[in-house]
Amino acid sequence: MSEKLIPNLLVEDNKFCPGCGHGIINRVVAEVLEEMDLADKAVGSLAVGCACLMMDTFGTDWIQAPHGRAAAVAVGVKRVRPECCVFTYQGDGDSLAIGFSETMYAALRNENITAIIVNNGIFGMTGGQMAPTTLPGQRTTTSPQGRNADTTGQPVNIINQIKEVPVGYLARGSVDTAKEINKLKKYIRTAIETQMSGGGYSLVEILSPCPTNWKMTLEASLDHIKTKVKETYPLGEYVKNGERVDA
């Protein structure tokens, strides 16, 4: 008997660069939706960035919002189709720069949607510009001397912004090791379970490599996440069933 290795939702090979974290995250999301029997009920909302490459290869229904507005569109879909599993899939530039307001207000209203935010610390598709999540000192195409937090502010930690208000589920995962990918899958499953049981807003932020714009090998990119990015963005669950579970 042949073993099913690739989720049916991944209808074509992805178009991400070699070593990109988006490909792993796509697979994890697809596995969770299929295992929960939600593939036919899922509606994704995305806007711009490398996430958009999914629309041709990830076989669920998609709506493309204007830059940053995926959360607002997802809220509209969920309110009129509450039986659907409605999720946003966005990069950090999209969801936390132009879309910061939409992301925050969906959380502040505890809207019953799931936000998936892929934090690679830069604007990927447009060539590696500084994002709200760029680490202090990190060189990007628009901060060639390294990000100066005195003039550009501290990195945005969306989970710290949201964890003080009533929401259903908040977690931060990573794709830098197989163990972390397994944990990430549990986080995404719990987030979607929260939504489908009417438990309110759920968000999973994911630390993800962009070897192309970091100008690093994949190995160096994963090491960068382990040794640098996690210091600023600690992993784990922060809110579960509407209660704080972080220390």
The reply to whether 16 sits near ligand SF4 by the rule CB under 6 A is yes
The CA distance from 85 to 39, in Å, is 9
Beta carbon nearer to ligand SF4, 10 or 85: 10
The reply to whether 19 sits near ligand TPP by the rule CB under 6 A is no
Cα-Cα end-to-end distance for the chain: 47
The reply to whether 91 sits near ligand TPP by the rule CB under 6 A is yes
Q: Which of 71, 125, 162, 206 binds ligand SF4 (CB under 6 A)?
A: 125
Binding mask 40-59 for ligand SF4 (x = CB under 6 A): ----------x---------
At 107, the amino acid letter reads A
* 3 state SS of 49: coil
Q: Which of 9, 32, 51, 235 binds ligand TPP (CB under 6 A)?
A: 51
Phi, psi at residue 84, to the nearest 5°?
A: -80, 155
At 122, the amino acid letter reads I
The reply to whether 15 sits near ligand TPP by the rule CB under 6 A is no
The reply to whether 155 sits near ligand TPP by the rule CB under 6 A is no
The reply to whether 131 sits near ligand TPP by the rule CB under 6 A is yes
Q: What angle (nearest 5°) sits at the alpha carbon of residue 163, between those of residues 160 and 168?
A: 140
The reply to whether 124 sits near ligand SF4 by the rule CB under 6 A is yes
Beta carbon nearer to ligand SF4, 129 or 161: 129
Identify the sign of the CA torsion 133, 138, 226, 46. Answer: positive
Q: Looking at 35-43, 89-97, 164-172, 214-222, which segment touches ligand TPP (CB under 6 A)?
A: 89-97
Beta carbon nearer to ligand TPP, 117 or 170: 117
Minimum distance, C-beta of residue 93 to ligand TPP, in the bound complex (Å)? 3
216 contact partners, CB below 8 Å, separation of at least 6:
209, 224
Q: What distances in angstroms separate CA 230 from CA 36, 51, 136, 207, one per listed residue?
A: 30, 22, 13, 8
Q: Looking at 29-37, 43-51, 135-143, 221-229, which segment touches ligand TPP (CB under 6 A)?
A: 43-51
Q: Which residues pair with 90 in a beta bridge?
A: 117
Task: Output the six-digit token pair for 76.
Answer: 């509209």
The reply to whether 95 sits near ligand SF4 by the rule CB under 6 A is no
Beta carbon nearer to ligand TPP, 90 or 202: 90
8 A C-beta contact, residue 91 and residue 120: yes
Largest CA distance in the chain: 60
Residues of this chain that interact with ligand TPP (CB under 6 A) are 48-51, 67, 90-94, 118, 120, 123-126, 131
Residues of this chain that interact with ligand SF4 (CB under 6 A) are 16-17, 20, 22, 50, 120, 124-125, 210-213
